[in-house]
Amino acid sequence: MEMLTQSEVDALISQLTTGALSKPAERRDSGHAGRVRLYDFRRPDKFSKDQLRTIQMVHDSLSRQLSGFLAGKTRHVIQVFITSVDQMTYAEFLRGVSNPGIIGVVKMTPLSGNALMEITPNVGFAVIDRMLGGPGVAMSKNRPLTEIEVTVVQGIMSGVVGILGDSWKNIIDLKPSLEAVETNPLFVQVIAPNEMVVVISMEARIGETAGAVNLCIPYLCIEPVLPRLSAHQWFSSAQRGNRDGDEVATRLGEVPVPVTCELGDAEITVDELLNLEPGDVVVLRQAVNREVKIRVDGCAKLLGTPGKSGRRVSVLVTRESGGVA
């Protein structure tokens, strides 16, 4: 290696000081250029973005049906909509659960393991109050559920769990069932604290009260159906389900249904019945100008007026039994 003399070193320093010699540009390897993304090995991502989007689409249907179900139960307008779908550790989910709270343990048959459904106390107590005859106001202070309130909550959650199975029908024939209702999150250790879960958060509004309905599904529980959790397959299954529904409707349209016309009725004694002979007249309690009942499979569905169509006796349908046809 050739050594520089003192005069050459002084010349270089002088040129750097005056700006005559610029610093060499930093070399950058274009092959490794890019954005650096932090990765926490203690909570690895188990669900892809596509899978999370599919899970959100699945539970969009749940939120819509849940609004109608709770409105029917409480006779009050209730709005439910999804706010987020996130993956986190089970310990992180439990840290956000109220104590005491309203937590349902859901068995995800035929999948292995259990899921959790949490209803925040303000919404839970508002729904309970409404179902027990109150105005639907949340409690001012959180407290554990009474035995009667637990029974009411079990009925509500059982209905919600049934809707959950319908929402997953395009992915898997899910038959969930409510195993228990707990108020202490420490008693619902369904998986290890460091295991990953997906949490579907929904906001529920009843009157002036708003709260959350959270569904926590462990990764180990839905791991067998992860390959099906893609938007493409979900839409394909939905379209196939619509075609199946059209086929069922077509098949039902070909099912024969017995239709009878009831001209009227009469009341006679047993002796009169035994003495009936050809040519006898039985007077009906139905007036000639009144409509007659048309029964479909034995049930009165329509009303009509009797007459003739060509050489056949017929009935002209005028209206439904409860309104205009």
Question: What are the residue boundaries of the structural domains of the chain, listed by start?
Answer: 49-237, 259-324
Averaged pLDDT, 280-295? 84
Rounded to whole angstroms, how far apart are CA atoms 97 and 190?
A: 14
Rounded to the nearest integer, the mean pLDDT of the chain is 83
Lowest mean pLDDT of 23-32, 35-44, 313-322, name the range: 23-32
Q: Which residues contact 128 (CB under 8 A, 6 or more apart)?
A: 149, 152, 153
> Tell me, what's the pLDDT at 40?
62
Other beta carbons less than 10 A from residue 277's beta carbon: 5
Which pLDDT tens digit goes with each residue over 119-164?
999 999 999 999 888 888 888 788 888 999 999 999 999 999 999 9
Which pLDDT tens digit goes with each residue over 75-131?
888 999 999 999 999 999 999 998 899 999 999 999 988 999 999 999 999 999 998
Other beta carbons less than 10 A from residue 260's beta carbon: 11
Rounded to whole angstroms, how far apart are CA atoms 177 and 279?
A: 65
**Residue 230 confidence (pLDDT) above 90:** no
Q: Which has more confidence, 75 or 200?
A: 200
> Tell me, what's the pLDDT at 11?
75
> Tell me, what's the pLDDT at 268?
87
Phi/psi at 18 (nearest 5 deg)? -80, -10
Which pLDDT tens digit goes with each residue over 2-36?
666 767 767 777 776 666 655 555 555 545 455 66
- Write the secondary structure of the chain as one string of H (helix), E (strand) and C (coil): CCCCCHHHHHHHHHHHHHCCCCCCCCCCCHHHCCCCCCCCCCCCCCCCHHHHHHHHHHHHHHHHHHHHHHHHHHCCCEEEEEEEEEEEEHHHHHHCCCCCCEEEEEEEECCCCEEEEEECHHHHHHHHHHHCCCCCCCCCCCCCCCHHHHHHHHHHHHHHHHHHHHHCCCCCCCEEEEEEEECCHHHCCCCCCCCEEEEEEEEEEECCEEEEEEEEEEHHHHHHHHHHCCHHHHHHHHHHHHHHHHHHHHHHHCCCCCEEEECCCCCCCHHHHHCCCCCCCCCCCCCCCCCEEEEECCEEEEEEEEEEECCEEEEEEEEECCEEC
Domain 259-324 has CATH 2.60.120.200: no
pTM for this entry: 0.61
> Tell me, what's the pLDDT at 163?
92
Rounded to whole angstroms, how far apart are CA atoms 158 and 155?
A: 5
> Tell me, what's the pLDDT at 135?
87
> Tell me, what's the pLDDT at 322?
65
Name the band, by pLDDT with cuts 50, 70 and 90, for residue 42.
low
> Tell me, what's the pLDDT at 118?
94
- Side by side, the strands of the sheet bearing 292-296 are 259-262, 292-296, 299-309, 312-320, 323-324
Nearest CA-CA partner of 207 in 121, 122, 83: 122
Q: Which has more confidence, 232 or 127?
A: 127
CATH class belonging to 49-237 = alpha beta
Name the band, by pLDDT with cuts 50, 70 and 90, for residue 221.
very high
**Residue 325 confidence (pLDDT) above 50:** no
Instruction: Tell me the chain's radius of gyration from C-alpha atoms.
Output: 36
Question: How many whole angstroms from its chain centre is CA 81?
Answer: 10
> Tell me, what's the pLDDT at 180?
92
Averaged pLDDT, 189-196? 90
Name the band, by pLDDT with cuts 50, 70 and 90, for residue 324.
very low
Instruction: Please provide the size of the chain in residues.
Output: 325
Lowest mean pLDDT of 41-45, 176-180, 217-221, 299-303, name the range: 41-45
